């Protein structure tokens, strides 16, 4: 398991953070993919306790070192009815 964070230079969306781990490796020939489980963690505030949402996604290797989303977008609550 490893921490992750997305910090936006332009405040269009809130910064996010959480944890990520690989749950399954899918590799055959030149296809090199992983199924990951990641959390989006929110800290406690005066009115709400800390919370974590967990999501499943697939990523595949693009070249030697770059990993890209294999699914259209990870499913998180901010997409609401668009899921």
Confidence of residue 64 (pLDDT cuts 50, 70, 90): confident
* Cβ partners under 8 Å of residue 67, min gap 6: 34, 59, 60, 61
Closest among 4, 6, 7, 28 to 18, alpha carbons compared:
4
Q: Where are the domains of the chain?
A: 16-42+52-73
- Say if CB 27 and CB 11 are below 8 A apart: no
Map residue 19 onto helix, strand or coil. strand
Confidence of residue 81 (pLDDT cuts 50, 70, 90): low
Map residue 62 onto helix, strand or coil. strand
83 or 23, higher pLDDT: 23
CA distance 54 to 65: 26
Task: Supply the pLDDT for residue 74.
Answer: 54
Q: Is the pLDDT of residue 18 over 90?
A: yes
């Amino acid at each position: 398991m490893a921490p992750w964070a997305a910090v936006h230079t332009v405040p269009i969306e809130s910064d996010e953070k959480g944890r990520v781990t690989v749950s399954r490796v899918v590799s055959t020939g030149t296809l090199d993919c992983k199924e990951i489980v990641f959390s989006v963690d929110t800290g406690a505030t005066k009115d709400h306790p800390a919370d974590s949402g967990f999501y499943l996604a697939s990523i595949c290797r693009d070249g030697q070192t770059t990993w890209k989303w294999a699914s259209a977008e990870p499913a998180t609550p901010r997409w609401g009815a668009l899921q």
